[in-house]
Amino acid sequence: MSKKSRDKGKRGEREVRDLWRVIRPDSRRSGHEQVQGDACASDVDVGEGYAVEVKLYKRLSWTIVRRALEQAGEVAREREGNDVPVAFVRSDRDKWVAVLDAAHFLSMVSKLDDRDS
């Protein structure tokens, strides 16, 4: 992987970290753990509950999005917890999109509905 690609990935991770810091101020990039080969490291460590994968590409394809969600799922399974796998994806000059599978999305909505009742 070229230095330009690595820098772009780091930039994407920092942007997503900053998005999470609005609701989870201790969120941080997990770059150090990934370099050391920790297979259980999300791209962005947001604390318990979520396994976050970040992809920033010039042009996104469904294959890239699906693979990012699969990678987040692998991390969530390796942690043996109840982490929700979430992929944050963005193409150049576009907005970040959070992708998660329908079962997790509906579960989250159900919990919000229960809370509001």
Q: Which CATH number goes with the domain that contains 110? A: 3.40.1350.10
Label residue 59 left, alpha or beta by phi (over 0 means left) and psi (-120 to 50 means alpha). Answer: beta
| Parent domain of 32 | 3-116
> What pLDDT, on the 0 to 100 scale, is given for residue 40?
63
Best CA proximity match to 83, nearest among 113, 47, 110: 47
Tens digit of each residue's pLDDT (9 = 90 or more) over 47-69: 999 999 999 999 999 999 999 99
> What pLDDT, on the 0 to 100 scale, is given for residue 11?
94
Can you tell me the distance from the alpha carbon of 99 to that of 49, in angstroms, rounded to the nearest whole number? 15
Can you tell me the distance from the alpha carbon of 36 to that of 67, in angstroms, rounded to the nearest whole number? 22
Token representation of residue 77:
């399974």
Reading the chain (117 residues) residue by residue, the pLDDT tens digits are: 788 888 899 999 999 999 999 999 999 998 755 544 555 689 999 999 999 999 999 999 999 999 999 999 999 998 877 899 999 999 999 999 999 999 999 998 998 988 877
Question: What's the angle, vertex CA 76, arms to CA 60 and CA 34, rounded to 5?
Answer: 70
